A and B are shown apart, each in its own frame.
Chain A
């Protein structure tokens, strides 16, 4: 019988206990999730869980990429989820659509072709919201039309429940990575798009905002942001007005003029009597110009005027 006071035995016991804790940790959805060892910061999300563990590979029909979903806490204390995709070396351009049920988590027109001798960067999409996330089954379609091949994988899905009666609330999506336009040119994305409201002396103001360190991300010259929220926002889109605005209505592609500008931020501010939260809206990063191709589609709910 080994002596429990022996330092080696105690260290071994502690290591075994730690191993058991990690291996029994599971996401709320019942899927095994990465524990504290998965802790890292992806964009502004302090990662607490990840699914699948390790990042899964989709490898069929000559396509090969890695994907993972992450969940954790943002710097401001809200919950966050992040979805990451990366083409493997030697892989061709790959259209990918990652969905959880009917909710499209990330729809990438294509992951850029990855040279054989190079490790390609992640394309990262993070959501910041009031609420929680759970593990569930997600489906990733890829290949031609993003539905030639399918892989089912556990993933973390956000359940946002903002308090529309609060003084302020915000939901946002951050995108970082490189996508490729229809001409084959790389388009770097690094911005946060958010919907929020503020209650002040003048009443409630709905704010639709994009922020980025690089001003060229916000001038609408390299890409535009087509948001379904603008389709539901009366009077937001104005086809007669032109100017440096990244915002467009998703369905019509109509121009949405920016009402406020600040260093590193552009926004559309709309006074409203009340706010209603609308989930399952999408934001599409689109090539500028009429009939521009979609580059990336992500989930971005919004606060809309209460009818």
Chain B
């Protein structure tokens, strides 16, 4: 019968539960893995089509024109220079006069340039791609409302072709200026924020002190909760001790009386309730 002790019962009872838990977990993992596998297979099947679409998207027929490539190259170069200048201006340290004039702080300028640059770059790049598409015969045949534009650019002679090239150069330049200023500005701001946060979190940093204060508060809260629980246990223990002490002096009847609420008669007034250590403390 000694083998049926609590320890042996626990060891023998936990084993099937653990097995079932492990089985459930393995099943969940398998389901998850199958889901990931299915998604991966679908994505892999789509890769060639996506690559083909990318190739078509990135190599419009207009791009075959060497003249256009020269114009766009010049525009992109100018745009990149403008973007670099804008970034350099925004990333420069704030001088005193700028602060006096009410200029934005450096981080604000970087954030603004990042968002504006990226926004302008994306819009200009989309417009540039559309501009390249309007002289694509296959594209325009599927969007007939663009036919007059195609006729003008292709048929307007050298002046129209020059206008087309100029627009392409301006759009490419704008996109490059936007990306050239926005991307480094956004990256620099992100890096600087990350470094600042790390510095604050280091020993001696403000965030580190706050973190320590928070963890101290957590520890104090846990201690208070534990003390509260301990006090409640002690009160129950005290009641038990009192009850045990009363039973030893008055016999079983008194013990029963102590356990049960005090009997009252209709004639006599009920006596005051027995004082409770916990209640008394609580009132104080």
Contacts and interface: CB of A to CB of B under 8 A. Distances in A.
B145 to A, nearest CB: 15
A147 B63 CA distance: 10
Contact of A63 (B137, B140, B159, B165): B137
Given A110-B157, A295-B157, A145 B65 contact: yes
Contact of B137 (A62, A180, A182): A62
Contacts of A143: 61, 64-65, 154
Interface string B142-171: 000000001111111111110011000000
A203 B108 CA distance: 83
Interface residues on B, range: 20 to 34
B59 to A, nearest CB: 12
Contact of B68 (A63, A113, A144, A294): A144
B237 interface: no
Contacts of A148: 61-62, 64-65, 68
A94 B136 contact: no
Interface in A170-201: 180-182, 184
Given A143-B61, A145-B67, A184 B141 contact: no
B186 interface: no
Given A62-B138, A294-B157, A113 B151 contact: yes
Given A62-B141, A293-B159, A144 B151 contact: no
A147 B65 CA distance: 5
Contact of A144 (B152, B153, B157): B153
Contacts of A307: none
B3 interface: no
Given A61-B61, A63-B137, A182-B159, A147 B66 contact: yes
Contact of A92 (B67, B154, B165): B154
Contacts of A144: 61-62, 64-65, 67-68, 135, 153-154, 161, 164
A179 to B, nearest CB: 9
A7 interface: no
A109 interface: yes
A291 interface: yes
A301 interface: no
A165 to B, nearest CB: 39
Contacts of B165: 145
A257 interface: no
Nearest to A145: B67
Interface in B51-65: 61-62, 64-65
Contacts of B66: 145, 147
A294 B161 CA distance: 11
B61 A182 contact: no
A293 B158 contact: yes
A222 to B, nearest CB: 15
A181 B151 CA distance: 11
A81 to B, nearest CB: 25
A293 B158 CA distance: 7
A294 B158 contact: yes
Contacts of A62: 61, 136-138, 141
A93 interface: yes
Most buried by A among B62, B135, B137, B161: B137
A291 B62 CA distance: 26
A194 to B, nearest CB: 25
Contacts of B151: 92-93, 113, 184
A110 B154 contact: yes
A149 interface: yes
Nearest to B150: A92
Contacts of B65: 143-145, 147-148
B242 to A, nearest CB: 102
Contacts of B152: 184
B137 A109 contact: no
B31 to A, nearest CB: 51
Given A61-B137, A62-B136, A92-B151, A149 B156 contact: no
Contacts of A109: 155, 157-158
Contact of A291 (B141, B155, B159): B159
30 contacts: A61-B61, A62-B138, A63-B137, A92-B137, A92-B140, A92-B154, A93-B151, A93-B154, A94-B154, A95-B161, A109-B158, A110-B154, A110-B155, A110-B157, A113-B151, A113-B155, A144-B61, A144-B64, A144-B67, A145-B66, A148-B62, A148-B68, A181-B157, A182-B155, A182-B157, A182-B160, A184-B155, A287-B157, A294-B158, A295-B157
Interface of A: 61-63, 92-95, 109-110, 112-113, 143-145, 147-149, 180-182, 184, 287, 291, 293-295
The 10 closest A-B pairs by CB, nearest first: A62-B137, A93-B155, A293-B157, A145-B67, A109-B157, A110-B155, A148-B65, A148-B64, A144-B65, A182-B156
Given A61-B64, A62-B137, A145-B67, 16 more contacts: A61-B61, A62-B61, A62-B138, A92-B154, A109-B158, A143-B61, A144-B154, A145-B65, A145-B68, A145-B161, A147-B65, A148-B65, A180-B155, A293-B157, A293-B159, A293-B160
